[in-house]
Structure 1
Amino acid sequence: MTDTRHSLTEEFEARQQAWYKSVAGVFARVQKKDIADVPLDSWRKLIKTTYEGIDVNPLYTRADELEQDPIPGVFPFRRGAKGVGHQHQGWGVTESFDAKSSNAELMHALNNGTTHVVVKGEADLAALLKGVLFQYAPVRLEAGLALVSQAEALFALVDAEDADPALIELGASPLTSQVDGSDSVDLETAVSLAKTCAARVRTRAILVDSAAFSNQGATDAEEIGLALATGADYLRALTDAGLSVEQALDQLAFRFAVSDDQFAQLSKLRAARQLWARVAEIVGAPDHGSCPQHAQTAPVMFSQRDPWVNMLRCTVAAFAGGVGGATDVEVLPFDWAIPGGLPNTSRTFARRIARNTNLLLLEESHLGHVVDPAGGSYFVEAFTTELADKAWAVFSTIEKEGGFRAAVASGSVKALLDASHELTRADIARRIKKVTAINEFPNLLEAPLASELRVEPHGVRRWAAEFEALRNRSDAFLESHGKRPQVALIPLGPLAKHNIRTGFATNLLASGGIEAVNPGQVVPGTQEFAKAAKASSIVVICGTDQEYEESGAEALTALREAGVETVLLAGAAGSGVDADGYLNLKIDAADTLAQLLEKLGA
């Protein structure tokens, strides 16, 4: 029998070299060079580096292949907690309710696709959960300071049903509440509840709410690492209180935030399961290393402006959560970031869209019928491994400091989250990280939110917050002046030449709530030019670099003579136009727009 592996390897190498040459050829055309002058490793310029320092290559091949992981349902559960042939494949559809929700709303949700119920705050559980079959519908509480009484009420309802529950979770989160400021019972009470739950069937007391870390700016590796550290501290507290290691592990559940970065997020969930299983192995109970892993569409990515775009973000996030192997996925309503929801929008509609996002992925896209859809992907497997290494390093650092509680007390957790948040904020401010409808493609014609709705959700550092604060200033200006703050454009040259930069300037200004007044091509010395110069105290010259060389200096002189206070140039310095500022891809857009609003009186 002939061994073909050598010939396959030669064929693979030949194809890989051909790809290198093809990429070099593209760079040669763009740079207008001879391909012989472009190195074959030019493809490395396409590498993107994550906030964790992980390099993401433009192409992954079998050269990146890793050793095959165990099948789903087998330690270390990287490929999923459910085994092949499990009765219920796919993931659960989670929906939250509170004291304002009715039993009819909850039962309607259960009859139309919702499978997991979360009850927030203090509610009349007997009335709200009337008719719920606990052996089929997992129920989780997020009751804050009212948890003890709510837990007692829930236990009474479960005990009245002559069947073991599918899963009951009390959701106590005393450690992560120290990070995001959410209400929670203290650790002593949580441990006491865990001891009670340990004597019950399929009942867990504690939630490691790592979404709290995401909400404060954690990177994916930090979210996992801090979750591991939190879980380890809970294990210490539970075993110190007399629970066995196995009992302690069985009292924990995790919740992770999933954003619209689909590959990173599904890799995050896979890495988190693998690493927690490793923790369970270290403490001597690997068979108890799998626990519920809840996913929630990340609050940080929600915008208040043009909230309809949140539907798209949530679809990608739900895909990542489900494909990543989460036990269940909660898609928050698209207008979650607006207090009370988007005005004139039905709450029933918002809930139905959120629920159906999950159902379309599960049923119509058939993702719920596939075991570990991402398994075997060269990129996903490689990225998961690298992310796990980075997350374990975060966990190890926290452990060396004495554990999660010690790290919180010393301020190192806050410092870590503050630093990561600032990196993300700076990238959004510079429009390196794109947030659709916020720092890219804003809609100035959108009806302004009422002033009482322009508030930030508690405990969340949203990506859109800084730009939306600028838009809030614009809305306030509109309410008092009848128009938005305006900046005049001075387009030089014909449309075909100035259109790129007038479009860029218009989009940039709009992201800060500033309306660009575009008169079309104007020529220095004409009445049209003089009229355009008087349209605003701030103007932006727009054109090609060639046009700047030919007429830019003349235009600047004319604008100075017309008394324009601030002259900006769409482009970079060094084009022969000594403007007061420059609008380009390298500026801190948020800071520049804030200064412009200040000058315009907004």
Structure 2
Amino acid sequence: MSNNMHEIDFPSASYEEWKETAIKSLKGKPFESLFTKTIEGVTIQPLYTQQMLVEKLGDQLEKQVNTIRALNSTKSVQAAQTIYAENTKEFFDKIKDSVNRGNGYITIDSRILEWDEEALTQLANYLIEYPFKLIVHENKILNVFSKIQESDRVKVRGFVLTKEAITLDDFPMVRTFAANTVPYHNDGAHIVQELALALAQAAKYAEKSESFESFANKFFVNFAIDTYFFQEIAKLRAFKVLWKAFATAYNAEAVPVPVLVETSLRSFSKYDIYVNLLRAGNEAFAALIGGADAITVHPYDVLTKPTEQSVRIARNVVLVLKEESFVDDVLDPAGGSYFIETLTAEYVEKAWELFLQIQEAGGIDEFEKSGKLQSAIEEVYKERIRQVETRKHSLIGTNIYANPADLLQTETNPLYKDIKRLAIPFEMLREQYSQVNPKIGILTYGKLKDFKPRADFVEGFFATAGVVPVESGEIESIEEAKNWLQQTDADYVVIAATNDQTKEIVPVLLESRKEGLILDVAGKFPEEETDWLSQGLNGFIFAGQNIVEKLTALLESLKGVQQQ
């Protein structure tokens, strides 16, 4: 046998052969259980093949790939690190430092400072020399452009994000028509909505411009990138396909449009903050592969108060990914992936359909005035919250693998306090439980190997509220279990045992439990539920349950017990 891998041929397997093997390994579960329906209504399959891709796209596949590759705006991605400071001197010192350490775009949120004349004059000097991304919440900062001499204005390169587009005369290299989908993203919008809203904003600006060309030369898009790695890659690729279709609808040629991105904050948590770094790194890498031109990585502690260390790490995320992965040297690195090409096409189809609906409603302004936009995004947000509270979507360190020892950071960065973060219900829950400080126990019945899975689940369940339950240890007789319940100082106890053991001991323990003790069972017992509840059982803890609803209701009961 040859040791040369180049000379070894592996037999290819058909989709049907793979499916047959998968069904066997599912051990009775339906094959359809491997399919995942996303919040956008797209069904993600367990396997994609070349044949499936060709059948779906046909001749459109080559057009899709060519469009994406032709519409790259820049040859290399840049870091666009936000500058944080508490005073003017610190702010300008940090601008210098960030540029010297690899920041490609100085990124400024106008709310960071009070912009007096001196600060505006200083800032003007930097805007002449360095590319920038200016996020405008206070219009006073726009006076900086009047501080720039006419002879220097052709040198100024950057992007201005305002709620309503502005026109800057004599600044040909400054783009001011922003399709900024980040506010919608922060309210909960999904990928299809973001893409459609980007086009709807573009249509608003295009219709008010003298020509499509003059509009396109001032246009750019600003996306937030979430933790859904492959979907976010497809989102950025899909935008370029949609942009070409949009330009074609105006009988114009599609020119490359800069794609600016920032890592999403809606999945950030004030607990286990270093997980935020992992989230941001994942999102930045998706943006890099998807073809972003500039990436802003939010520091892991940005929800409270960014430090020099966290800001440096955030900036270096982009620099390391860019220099070490070599993805930046590849044109459309995701191109040709059966999965991502299919996903890209599905996003294009769904987003274009939604965009047309918005236009038929009178455009984005009318669509927003009607309340339909807010209603649609609110519906998606509620579904996101439901998925997090039931652990259908994991927030590591928050709704799963939570560390009870983590302390909630009480300080809040005012720049990001209004984002509808998914971790907020759990942060509130932990704060409420810390105030009540209830005593919670787990009655572990039987041998360790029997009760451990359920005991571990219950511990993880309560860890999301910052509570560490006290376990009874191995209890192997009903009399011992009754005695432990009588002696424990816990306000609330969960019984963790096998199904058969639970059915055996629960009726006896309900009869002998001491007054005021709240008793729950780990697991689902639909046949016994009504009977046990009528005998005084408080309820059940099980997988798929809404954690926040369960723990909130329990907290109210615990307050009542403590007041007795």
Please tell me the TM-score bracket, short chain as reference: 0.7 to 0.9
Does 2:536 align with 1:537? no
Stretch of structure 1 that moved more, 411-420 or 508-517: 508-517
Q: How far off its partner does 1:152 sit? A: 3.9
1:187 alignment counterpart: none
1:139–1:154 distance in 2 versus 1, CA, 3 Å = farther
1:573 alignment counterpart: 525
Partner secondary structure for residue 416 of structure 2: coil
Partner secondary structure for residue 585 of structure 1: coil
| Contact 2:80–2:133 (Cα < 8 Å) also in 1 | no
Identical columns (%): 24
Residues of 2 paired with 1:385 and 1:112: CA distance? 38
What is the aligned counterpart of 1:285 among 249, 252, 259? 252
- Partner amino acid for 2:132? V
Stretch of structure 1 that moved more, 95-104 or 352-361: 95-104
What is the aligned counterpart of 1:475 among 434, 453, 456? 434
2:4 alignment counterpart: none
- Partner amino acid for 2:107? V
Residues of 1 paired with 2:447 and 2:414: CA distance? 44
1:459–1:207 distance in 2 versus 1, CA, 3 Å = farther
Does 2:138 align with 1:145? yes
Q: Deviations over 1:11-37 (max 9, x none)?
A: 86x532321221122123xx4xxxxxx
1:280–1:454 distance in 2 versus 1, CA, 3 Å = closer
| Contact 1:295–1:330 (Cα < 8 Å) also in 2 | yes
Moved over 6 A (4+): none
Could you list the runs of 5+ residues in structure 2 that have no partner in the other structure?
A: 1-10
Q: How far off its partner does 1:314 sit? A: 0.5
| Contact 1:47–1:57 (Cα < 8 Å) also in 2 | yes
What is the aligned counterpart of 2:277 among 311, 331, 346? 311
1:138–1:207 distance in 2 versus 1, CA, 3 Å = same
1:548–1:162 distance in 2 versus 1, CA, 3 Å = closer
1:96 alignment counterpart: 82
What is the aligned counterpart of 2:163 among 165, 173, 177? 173
2:446 alignment counterpart: 493
TM-score normalized by the length of structure 2: 0.87
Does 2:153 align with 1:154? no
Query: 1:418-437 residue pairs with structure 2 within 5 A?
Result: 418-437=378-397
1:547 alignment counterpart: 501
Does 2:470 align with 1:511? no
1:574–1:120 distance in 2 versus 1, CA, 3 Å = closer
Query: 1:389-428 residue pairs with structure 2 within 5 A?
Result: 389-428=349-388
Q: Deviations over 1:471-520 (max 9, x none)?
A: 1212334xxxxxx3232111111111101001101111121233312121
| Contact 1:553–1:576 (Cα < 8 Å) also in 2 | no
Does 2:463 align with 1:524? no
Stretch of structure 1 that moved more, 350-359 or 522-531: 522-531
Residues of 2 paired with 1:280 and 1:308: CA distance? 42
| Contact 2:443–2:481 (Cα < 8 Å) also in 1 | no
Q: How far off its partner does 1:99 sit? A: 6.3
1:129–1:113 distance in 2 versus 1, CA, 3 Å = farther
Residues of 2 paired with 1:276 and 1:532: CA distance? 69
Partner secondary structure for residue 548 of structure 2: helix
Number of equivalenced pairs: 529
Residues of 1 paired with 2:289 and 2:137: CA distance? 31
Partner secondary structure for residue 300 of structure 1: coil
Residues of 1 paired with 2:149 and 2:498: CA distance? 71
Q: How far off its partner does 1:580 sit? A: 2.2
Does 2:370 align with 1:375? no
Query: 1:127-146 residue pairs with structure 2 within 5 A?
Result: 127-128=122-123, 130=125, 134=129, 137-146=130-139
Residues of 2 paired with 1:488 and 1:273: CA distance? 55
Query: 1:15-414 residue pairs with structure 2 within 5 A?
Result: 15-28=14-27, 31=28, 42-66=30-54, 67=59, 68-70=61-63, 76=67, 78-79=68-69, 81-82=71-72, 89-97=75-83, 100=86, 101-121=90-110, 123=115, 124-128=119-123, 130=125, 134=129, 137-146=130-139, 149-154=140-145, 156-157=147-148, 159=150, 161=152, 164-165=155-156, 167-174=157-164, 190=165, 193-194=166-167, 196-197=168-169, 199-236=170-207, 238-239=208-209, 243-288=210-255, 290-338=256-304, 340-341=305-306, 347-414=307-374
| Contact 2:128–2:155 (Cα < 8 Å) also in 1 | no
TM-score normalized by the length of structure 1: 0.82
| Contact 2:405–2:466 (Cα < 8 Å) also in 1 | no
Could you list the runs of 5+ residues in structure 1 that have no partner in the other structure?
A: 1-10, 32-37, 175-189, 342-346, 478-483
Q: Deviations over 1:346-380 (max 9, x none)?
A: x1101111011111111112222221110100000
Partner secondary structure for residue 103 of structure 2: coil
Q: Deviations over 1:387-415 (max 9, x none)?
A: 11111121111111111110111111110
2:7 alignment counterpart: none
Residues of 1 paired with 2:149 and 2:290: CA distance? 31
Q: How far off its partner does 1:70 sit? A: 5.0
| Contact 1:552–1:576 (Cα < 8 Å) also in 2 | no
1:531–1:546 distance in 2 versus 1, CA, 3 Å = closer
Query: 1:590-601 residue pairs with structure 2 within 5 A?
Result: 590-601=548-559
| Contact 1:103–1:129 (Cα < 8 Å) also in 2 | no
**Aligned-residue CA RMSD in angstroms?**
2.5
Residues of 2 paired with 1:116 and 1:507: CA distance? 42
